[in-house]
Amino acid sequence: MLIGNNPLNEKPEWFKKNIEIIPQSKHVEVENKKIKYFIWGDESLPKLIFLHGFNAHSYWWSHIAPFFNTKYCVVALDFSGMGESEHREEYSQAMYSKEIKAVVDEMECTKPICLAHSMGGAIAMFSTSMFPDLFSKIILLDSVVVLPPEKAEMMKSRRPKSRMEIASDSIDNAISRFRLMPPQPCAQEYVLEYIAKTSYRETEQGWILKSDPKISSTYKYNDLHEMMMNPKTDLEIIYGQLSQVFTADVLDYMKYAGQLDETKIHRLEGAMHHLFLDRPLEFKDLVLKILEN
């Protein structure tokens, strides 16, 4: 018995068309490490820069980026230690901010619009404390930048390392092990399969995730209340209606801290934390609507 909207996991034409568009792949060196970034579209157009979350990478945007190429050039980097960028001995919001700035400078962007998912949103906010004129707008994508004090203690980062260190004997077995963090189902299984396939590298031990396990233990982050209360750039939020992370109390606190108007907050119906994976077309429509305003 076949269950669900797409029980055979058939790839729709829009998905096949988008992932067949091969972006330019470039590198910029930041403090002796190569940082990979992708470019989709005409570089003379205004820029959108996409920032991924923890353990993600620029391929996460492959099915989304071409939707915006009529009016924008899309740029997406791999933070060091993730994707195809080189690894460091330790990681921090400050270092990741320098990597964003280096890509923006290399592209000769003038205040691009930034769309930042999850961990990437906190990095984007912190980067404006170092480089106040970096972006013209930040759109946080289910990204928790500040937490109520009582909840912050409960939700201290405990990044799982074990799954990153497990080697699989084949890429197919590796893909079968792949899980989103935090865990969630993904109705568009073909999207998840594509992301999983681009998340592993082959080593002598087998297929392992590209992400550096040291990120969990070395990552340095900052209290962003001051940046949220006194933002250096225009700020909007998109969150998933069913998000496991962006819960009602988090939303209320971020609205309070940032004194955000309701017109700057957008809910994506039916979406969970990885909202552009499980509701890609609805996500695209919502972002385009925001960009038109």
- pLDDT tens, residue by residue, 66-120: 999 999 999 999 999 999 999 999 999 999 999 999 999 999 999 999 999 999 9
Per-residue DSSP letters for 212-258?
Answer: -THHHHH-B----HHHHHS-SSEEEEEEETT-SSS-HHHHHHHHHHH
Identify whether 49 is part of a domain.
yes
pLDDT > 60? residue 202: yes
Is 178 a domain residue? no
Question: Which of 106, 119, 80, 145 minimizes the C-alpha distance to 24?
Answer: 106
- Asked, for residue 47, whether it belongs to a domain, the answer is yes
Total number of domains constituting the chain: 1
Tell me the per-residue pLDDT of 50-71, one tens digit each, with 9 for 90 and over. Answer: 999 999 999 999 999 999 999 9
Write out the H or E segment, with its range, that includes residue 266: strand 265-268
Residue-level pLDDT at 153: 60
pTM above 0.85, yes or no: yes
For residue 207, is it within any domain? no
Q: Report if residue 42 sits inside a domain.
A: yes
Q: What is the residue range of 31's domain?
A: 20-147+221-292
- Say if 196 falls within a structural domain: no
CATH at residue 35: 3.40.50.1820
Is position 125 within any domain?
Answer: yes
Give domain status of residue 265, yes or no.
yes
Q: Give the Cβ contact number of residue 126 at 10 Å.
A: 21
Side chain identity at residue 89, one-letter code: E
Q: Which two tokens stand for residue 99?
A: 């990597």
Q: List strand residue ranges (DSSP E) for 52-192, in order.
A: 73-77, 113-117, 137-141
